[in-house]
Amino acid sequence: MKSKKTKYSKSKYKLKKYRHRKKKSVFARAKRRFSEYFSYWTKQGYRKQRNWIDLDNASKLFPSVMNATDTKVFRFTATVKDDIDPKLLQMALDQSYKHFPLYRGVLRRGIFWYYYEESDLHPVVEKETDYPCRSLFHYDEKQLLFRVLYYRNRIHLEVFHALSDGTGASWFLQLLITNYVLLRYPESRSERIELPEEFQYTRYESGSQLDDSFTRYFNKKKNEKSINVKEMNPDESEKRKWKRVYQIYGRKTQDNRMQIIESEMPAKDLLKISKDRNITLSVLLTAIFIESIHKTIKRKNKERSVTISVPINLRQFYQSHSARNFFATTLIGYTFGQEGKTDTFDEICECVAEQYSTATKVENIEHKLFSLVKLEKNLALRIIIRPLKNLILRLANKINNLSITAALSNMGKISFPKNIEEYVDQIYVYITASRPQFACITHKGILTINFSSPYQDTEIQMNFLRRLTEMGIPVTIGANDVNPPNTKQDADHSDYLFEQQLVQRENQA
Amino acid sequence: MKYCNSCKIKIKGSPRVCPLCKEPAVDAITKFSKEESTKAGTKNAELSEVNSIEADGSFDPFPIVPLHYKQYTLLTVLSAISIFVYVIMWLIYLKFPESGLLPRYIFFALVSLWLLVSAIVRKRRNVAKSILYQFNILSVLLLLLDKLSDWSGWSITYAIPLLVCVALFAIIIAIGFIQKEFGDYVLYLGAVAIAGLIPLLFIIFGWVDVLWPSILSIALSSIMLILLIIFRYRLIVHELKKRLHL
Ligand SMILES: [Zn+2]
């Protein structure tokens, strides 16, 4: 009773106050408005000088070459035991965000270059309602370069490639999922968390996270002694000439969304197959990919090269805890229809394996990166204004793409602290692409291979996955709908068509 | 969970066709229940049927997203109106040639409309930038208009100097109420203030007879610049370094 009374009196009081305010509201409001207005010119907070940093060598390309289809956003998906609790996920995100100063950055335009600027923005988890990997950068808007989404039991981390590469983002994912599981499943807290070696503290220090490792290792001025003339000569394999590199074209999706096909399979089965052949998993997957693409080529009689662009994580060669981009790409390929070759799968494997071993030699990588960084520091290029630079980079990218058929990215293994692991199921990763592409990652013995493509056609993906099932590997796939029925009527109509099709099939049989 | 007999592959969720080969997919339960029932008895098959979604975590892995179509409404309406007006004007001109320069003015008006609208739309996220762009576009347009209507100098005598004053006040008033970081605006405000010094040239070269609009513009702009340099020097240097870094 008492509480009711106070409540009542309180509301009355409020009413009184409100009336009182209303009487002289015009004057008061004007006064308030003016004081607000003047505070803008006097308060310190409004003239904050924000910290900013330069983009690293690899990042410089992404804002220039992104477009509506190929947004250069990649996505990590983690599935956990139950449906996601958004409130706890938000808490986990808040905790993780604190440890990732890099992710506080927004991308902005200068006269000559883009740059990252520190922001006070606060990331908010959202339910996934849109298609995967929507654009994360708008030239005139300050927005964070990553987002966290959830759907059923899935947590998605989408990151703009200019901010971070897969390895950098996987650290954020590990922290986010660990925090979420600790909050969602209190049982997991009972044990003391034992951090695996890769959860070193240095990862979460702003100094090492924001490190521009490209400049640190490959800036000629700083590292003059470390290079000698011998290394500057391009290796023989670098000069490998491709014959008419095959380009994949297809029917684009209706509204430029990515076609995603995710697949999962036991890693040990694939590892056994590659061990039997005495090759690595990457080599096996690359060879299958090349073969699958070749199967789709209509005119097979000509000499054609199928080349795959493969990123190499540079952290395995150079000590770095940077969460920013630190990778190089290399081309692995195979030329079909050469004399004296029958283009069997074994031959492709052998050729790919050989290229992998030369491509991952430190000297070869170093040479390429020194010249890339040298180009970036070239004064003539630097003083070109940004809009023009964009055009040049876009053109250069187009030309470079002519020598690439497709791309793949093997993220290797990902793991979580021991007591977290049992709550986390599959991890998926994929990136937007201007041509069919796949990324794969292994977690808890399950390998997921995820295809992304701007096209509606799925022949390459089909060839690839059928090849795996033919080898006796149990594969489960999932896909997003690129041709969804727009209205109820459409849906009913397509249902009707589908049933008719089934009837026809049965009749034929 | 579904199953494709052609690809020999399990498919998550309940798509009607296999995403890979577009052949009809069958229910994985009916496919596997025979094998399972022989192995583990009928109980297992029943269980999996009852709880088919939760048991294998097999719901559609992606939400169904309706097709997005780009919205061209404003753009299409604007261009339709522009073309319509222009055609009508030409018809009038052909019928009554004595109306003289009419189509030229109409063309001019339409171009101005388009330029200003596109500047407003493209730069809507930063009010100071938007005002700077509109000021530039308007100045050029007014100069052209003056030229078109047998140069009498009204554009540089009155229009441009007064436009500078309007732009300066507009920025100062707008950003005070929007209350976002001053760093985003300071350089644009500075740019308008520097543009406000250009009427000095008009006076020096004797292009204008009536001096007060030019003097007003120069005075306001120099006050603005001096205030900016005195009170926001460090911020200006910081912003310049940031945006001009090589
Ligand atoms: Zn199929």
Give B-chain residues touching A261 at CB under 8 angstroms: 19-20
Nearest alpha-carbon partner for A402 in A295, A302, A305, A301: A305
Q: Are residues A469 and B9, on separate chains, in Cβ contact within 8 Å? A: yes
How far is B44 from B50, CA to CA, in rounded Å? 10
Compare CB distances from B183 to A50, A254, A481 and report the shortest one's residue.
A50
Compare CB distances from A110 to B9, B24, B245 and report the shortest one's residue.
B245
My answer on whether A430 and A288 are in the same domain is yes
Q: Are residues A112 and B245, on separate chains, in Cβ contact within 8 Å? A: yes
Q: How far B177 CA sits from the closest chain A CA (Å)?
A: 6
Nearest residue of A to residue B173, measured between CA atoms: A37
Domain end among A183, A215, A247: A215
Answering whether pTM is above 0.90, one says: no
Give A-chain residues touching B10 at CB under 8 angstroms: 474-477
What residues contact B125, with CB distance under 8 A and at least 6 apart?
A140, A141
How far is A435 from B242, CA to CA, in rounded Å? 36
My answer on whether A352 and A427 are in the same domain is yes
How far is B246 from B233, CA to CA, in rounded Å? 21
Q: Annotate A174-206 with DSSP letters as a single string.
A: HHHHHHHHHHH-GGGGSSPP---GGG-GGGG-H
Q: Are residues A52 and B12, on separate chains, in Cβ contact within 8 Å? A: no
My answer on whether A202 and A255 are in the same domain is no
Tell me the residue type at A204. Y
What residues contact A266, with CB distance under 8 A and at least 6 apart?
A445, A446, A447, A473, A474
CA A96 to ligand 1 center in whole angstroms: 41
The H-or-E segment that residue B185 falls in is none
Residues present in chain B in total: 246
pLDDT for the residue numbered A200:
55
SS3 at position B180 = coil
Instruction: Please give the interface size between A and B, counted as residue pairs whose CB atoms are below 8 Å apart.
Output: 142
Beta bridge partners of B168: none
Token pair recorded at residue A331:
């081309």
Nearest alpha-carbon partner for A442 in A147, A84, A170, A160: A170
My answer on whether A33 and A72 are in the same domain is no
Q: What is the ipTM of this complex?
A: 0.81
CA A500 to ligand 1 center in whole angstroms: 19
C-alpha dihedral sign at A111, A117, A119, A122: positive
My answer on whether A356 and A465 are in the same domain is yes
pLDDT for the residue numbered A299:
76
Q: How far A1 CA sits from the closest chain B CA (Å)?
A: 46
How far is A272 from A468, CA to CA, in rounded Å? 13
Give A-chain residues touching B22 at CB under 8 angstroms: 458
**Burial of A135 (C-beta count, 10 Å sphere; 0-12/13-18/19+):** middle
CB A468 within 8 A of CB B7: no
pLDDT for the residue numbered A360:
80
Residues (pLDDT < 70) of chain B are 29-58, 70-73, 99-102
pLDDT for the residue numbered B167:
92
CA A506 to chain centre: 44
Domain range enclosing A470: 237-502
My answer on whether A422 and A373 are in the same domain is yes
My answer on whether A196 and A245 are in the same domain is no
Residues lining ion ligand 1 (Cβ < 5 A) are B 4, 6-7, 18, 20-21
The H-or-E segment that residue B246 falls in is none
Reported as a single tens digit per residue, the pLDDT across B87-128 is 887 888 788 777 666 677 777 888 888 888 888 888 888 889
A205 in contact with B, Cβ within 8 Å = no
3-state helix, strand, coil in chain B (%, to 5): 70, 5, 25
Q: Are residues B123 and A152, on separate chains, in Cβ contact within 8 Å? A: no
Q: Which of A46, A69, A260 to substitute to test the interface with B, most B CBs within 10 Å? A: A46
Instruction: Give the B window 162-201 contacts with A, CB below 8 Å.
Output: 175-177, 179-183
Give A-chain residues touching B21 at CB under 8 angstroms: 458, 462
CA B6 to ligand 1 center in whole angstroms: 5
CB B199 within 8 A of CB B218: yes
In a domain, A22, yes or no: yes
Q: Are residues A465 and B20, on separate chains, in Cβ contact within 8 Å? A: yes
End-to-end Cα spacing for chain A: 78
Tell me the residue type at A134. R
In a domain, A46, yes or no: no
Give A-chain residues touching B20 at CB under 8 angstroms: 261, 458, 461-462, 465-466, 477
Q: How many domains does chain A divide into? A: 3
In a domain, A49, yes or no: no
In a domain, A509, yes or no: no
In a domain, A202, yes or no: yes
pLDDT of chain A, 509 residues: tens digit per residue: 344 444 444 455 555 555 555 556 788 888 888 888 888 888 888 888 888 888 888 888 899 999 888 899 999 999 998 899 999 999 999 988 988 888 898 999 988 989 999 898 999 999 998 888 989 988 888 899 999 999 988 999 999 999 888 888 998 999 899 889 989 988 877 666 666 555 655 566 666 677 777 777 777 655 554 554 444 444 444 456 778 889 998 888 888 889 999 999 999 999 999 999 999 999 999 999 999 999 998 877 678 889 999 998 888 888 888 888 888 888 899 988 887 778 888 999 999 999 988 888 888 788 778 877 777 777 888 888 889 989 998 998 999 888 899 999 999 999 888 888 889 999 999 999 888 999 999 999 999 999 999 999 999 999 999 999 999 999 999 998 888 776 666 667 677 777 777 777 777 76
What residues contact B78, with CB distance under 8 A and at least 6 apart?
B113, B114, B117
B11 in contact with A, Cβ within 8 Å = yes
In a domain, A225, yes or no: no
Instruction: Give the B window 65-84 contacts with A, CB below 8 Å.
Output: 65-69
pLDDT for the residue numbered B49:
38
My answer on whether A470 and A415 are in the same domain is yes
Nearest residue of B to residue A495, measured between CA atoms: B16
pLDDT for the residue numbered A3:
45
- CA distance to A372, B2, B13, per residue, from A494 (Å): 52, 19, 18
Instruction: Give the A window 360-389 contacts with B, CB below 8 Å.
Output: 379, 382-383
A222 in contact with B, Cβ within 8 Å = no
Reported as a single tens digit per residue, the pLDDT across A49-70 is 888 888 888 888 899 999 888 8
Q: How far A358 CA sits from the closest chain B CA (Å)?
A: 35
How far is B241 from B246, CA to CA, in rounded Å? 9
My answer on whether A24 and A58 are in the same domain is no
In a domain, A223, yes or no: no
My answer on whether A33 and A66 are in the same domain is no
Residues present in chain A in total: 509
Reported as a single tens digit per residue, the pLDDT across A175-187 is 899 889 989 988 8
pLDDT for the residue numbered B197:
92
In a domain, A471, yes or no: yes
Q: Annotate A273-298 with DSSP letters as a single string.
A: HHHHHT--HHHHHHHHHHHHHHHH-S
Instruction: Give the B window 12-71 contacts with A, CB below 8 Å.
Output: 12-13, 15-17, 19-22, 24, 57, 59-69
Q: Which residue has the tokens 């005598």?
A: B157
Q: What is the CATH number of the domain that holds A450?
A: 3.30.559.30
**Burial of A338 (C-beta count, 10 Å sphere; 0-12/13-18/19+):** middle
CA A81 to ligand 1 center in whole angstroms: 28
Domain end among A153, A181, A215: A215
- CA distance to A157, A453, B208, per residue, from A133 (Å): 10, 12, 58
My answer on whether A15 and A80 are in the same domain is no
My answer on whether A65 and A35 are in the same domain is no
Instruction: Provide the residue ranges of all domains of chain B, joining segments of one domain with +.
Output: 2-55, 69-122, 136-246
Residue B116: how many CA atoms within 13 Å on its side-chain side? Answer: 14
Nearest residue of B to residue A52, measured between CA atoms: B242
